[in-house]
Chains A and B, each alone.
Chain A
Amino acid sequence: MTKQISIPGKRSRIRWLPQDNSLLKYICLAPAVIYDSIFFLLPLVFLVWIGFWSVENYRAVPGFSLANYSDIFSQFFVKSRYAYAIAQSLWVAITTTALGILLCYPFAMALMFLVPERLQRLLLVLAITPFWTSYILRLYAWQTILNNNGLLNTLLIQLKWVEQPVTIMFTQWGTRIGLLHYLAPIIILILYLVLRNTDRSLLGAARNLGATQWQTFWRVILPLSKPGIVYSAVFGLIISLGDVLSGIILGGGTGQSVLGKFPLFSTVILNEYAASTNLPRTSALATILIGIMMIILVSGLKLTESES
């Protein structure tokens, strides 16, 4: 049933594993495959499939038609102007992810290198605690902070730092804040795990060779944590692109950014469904968004593969 594996040129670390075609291997893999098939693959295939259906008398009718896609692509730059919403989504997702990594990287570094080992797990749990609370409640909590008469503006006015309330609510900055709160625990966890796997002897070697702290960081730690940064970016981009709540509750559904006052693409999808209840067309729009996410994911995987 099992065999010993020896890797040429290396001392074998994995001694016992199921044989390639053993039944045990398939039994062990089965739960994961079944779970992913039922809760991920099947709904995804169904979503893509519905995109080819049509609507008759407010009812989705199975079939195969490219009408939804041709209509959507014909409105990419006119009428519904989906390209503008996709551009807004990408802009918000990219800037949010970049901010997330910039803010979370120092936190993960401090956790790894400044906090004693026995406290690291406790602090890590505290850092990801927000993840266990309802996302929608967190967004409404942010409303009470960011509103024109909210906590932040009241404080700024009391301190006489501003005379008029700073408008954050119903802008894409509001959207970003909501997304950052959602993403931070994920990014911190990924970066912490990557930094924890850094070979400490390399840091010692760098210091022995006379590297300053900055040089050790720039030439040893940062390159070694590059895969973590890439995967944090992939996570951040995919989650930001798919999120609809922050864009509506804090972004106002049509928040202002440097690109203009456009909704996010996810908001457009939700609104289209609400306005027309045209499930096939909405599925086609969602499939386009998933296609963009897949491109990001594959690019991320390729990038880390080339790194390794």
Chain B
Amino acid sequence: MNNQNMNSSNGSFWRSISRRRFIQYTSLAGLAAATTKLGSCAAPQEQSATTESSPAASPTGGGTLGVLTWAGYDEPEVIGKFEQENGVKVEFKTYVGGEQMLQFFNQSPPGTFDGIISDGEYVTKLMEMGAIDPLNTADFPEIANFSETYQKFPGFFQGEQMMAVGTRFGNYGIAINTKYIQPEEVTSWNFLTDPKLQGKVAFFDWYLPNMGNASMALFPDNPNPYALTDEQLQQVKDWLIKVKPNVALITPNIQDITNAFINESVIAGPVGDWLIQNAIADGKTNFTAIVPKEGAIRWSEGATLCSASNNKELALKWVQYMASPETQARVANAKAYKGIAPNLEAQDFMSDEEKQLLGYVPDQDNPDKTVVEVQLERTRARQLPVNQPEQAWQDIYNEFKTS
């Protein structure tokens, strides 16, 4: 376009462009922008779930170790000592949910990861894929100091063979804001169906814990909440749909749930104490979490050693490091979210405030036991569906969300 054309009759550049033509071009650009936005739908979550250094970009070897993990394990307070002692750099890639972990692992070149922090129910999947090596119990004398449940936790063992070492656990009990709800009111899961909670409940967006809790609410005597008949599964769906009018927020973003509690946009939710403990530590002492009489689902994270690791010796050192009481104390009190250490000696490395926050104090109703011990007794491990395909459970969960 020459100057003569740019300077049309009124001397304005804007006026030289036909408005319809301009709008046509810009609308096409708009569609491009919108579709690009859509194409990157997953970006915010993935970005938030991924640390700056991605081992996927640089397969490990030499002085680096690649670890695929939940958030928290990458914090300097947790990994700094290991890096210093061994003169190595640990590169983390963090994930949210076991499915995402498996996808990241499968889509990375072999040898990208030397170790994985996995949930108990996904250790079996990793083992079936040949992704992880068995561990020798003789290499882990610290296990003798673990709570009984995690000395031989089924999720971390294949028969008699140890595949993972427990690093952190927690539960999905009912978190409440005591400014609005008295703890005495929260005795059963049916509390979540109370109409007074309409639009005041937050859910952590993952089908496994939420459907597991619903299963425990309905069938508390069932030894495995994930072993349901089709009829029982239908009842689980109906129960979740009954809770739905009370649900205001469903998100996999931990911080969004914490913020919603702090801002009082929600006042309850089956999200457990680990999601609100950061807020409690910051002075929001009106938050607490309760395991109802029917019990609640418990999550369990463990460290594994990758079969395709190029540096197995160092990787094994990292798994051993994760089993140590001092490391577990730091992981339990991670900034990302809190948890409980399987290693009972971890409390020796905690301050009084940390012990109070995490539950290493006598339980009010059972003074001879700590809150941690009582929670362990009253919770059951999260697992994968036993009698139906995972997709069937996910479809039901989706139906709950669109109900």
Contact = CB atoms under 8 A, between A and B. Distances in A.
Contacts of A245: 44
A290 interface: yes
Nearest to B104: A277
B103 A270 contact: no
B207 A275 contact: yes
Task: Give the most central of A253, A275, A277: most B CB within 10 Å.
Answer: A275
A173 interface: no
Given A227-B19, A254-B247, A270-B45, A300 B27 contact: yes
Contacts of A190: 23, 26
B205 A253 contact: yes
Contact of A262 (B39, B106, B402): B402
A22 interface: no
A234 to B, nearest CB: 5
B38 A290 contact: yes
Given A13-B8, A274-B205, A275-B207, A286 B41 contact: yes
Interface stretch (B54-62, B65-73, B312-320, B391-399): B391-399
Interface residues of A, number: 82
| Chain A, interface SS category | helix
Contact of A75 (B30, B37, B247, B395): B395
A163 B164 CA distance: 54
Contacts of B256: 248-249
A79 interface: yes
B27 A253 contact: no
B248 A252 contact: yes
A16 interface: yes
A77 B36 CA distance: 28
Contacts of B20: 227, 304, 308
Contact of B41 (A13, A249, A273): A273
B interface majority secondary structure: helix
Contact of A169 (B19, B28, B252, B263): B263
Contacts of B15: 196-197
Given A170-B249, A238-B34, A249-B256, A231 B23 contact: yes
B205 to A, nearest CB: 6
B349 interface: no
B261 to A, nearest CB: 11
Interface residues of B, number: 69
Contacts of B9: 13
Nearest to B24: A301
Nearest to B15: A197
B102 interface: yes
B206 interface: yes
Contacts of B129: 57
A193 B19 contact: yes
Contacts of A261: 244-245, 247, 403
A148 B35 contact: no
A84 interface: yes
B249 A253 contact: yes
Given A293-B35, A297-B31, A193 B14 contact: yes
A43 B249 contact: no
A289 interface: yes
Contacts of A262: 402
B39 A43 contact: yes
A158 B252 CA distance: 34
A197 B12 CA distance: 10
A143 interface: yes
Most chain-B Cβ atoms within 10 A of its Cβ — which of A78, A81, A253?
A253
B5 A238 contact: no
Contacts of A59: 103, 106-107
Given A252-B250, A263-B401, A58 B263 contact: no
B37 A242 contact: yes
A144 B245 CA distance: 24
Given A193-B14, A254-B250, A271-B401, A238 B100 contact: no
B265 A170 contact: yes
Interface in B63-113: 96-97, 99-100, 102-103, 105-107
A136 B398 CA distance: 26
Interface string B110-137: 0000000000000000000100000000
Contacts of A275: 97, 99, 205-207, 394, 397-398
A130 B213 CA distance: 43
Contact of B35 (A85, A136, A242, A253): A242
Contacts of B2: 16
A120 to B, nearest CB: 11
Interface in A36-51: 36, 39-40, 43-44, 47
A261 B247 CA distance: 9
B34 A293 contact: yes
A16 B5 contact: yes
10 contacts: A149-B264, A169-B260, A193-B23, A235-B30, A242-B34, A248-B256, A253-B205, A253-B251, A271-B401, A290-B35
Q: Nearest 8 CB-CB pairs, A to B? A: A147-B263, A277-B103, A80-B398, A242-B34, A170-B248, A252-B249, A81-B402, A231-B23
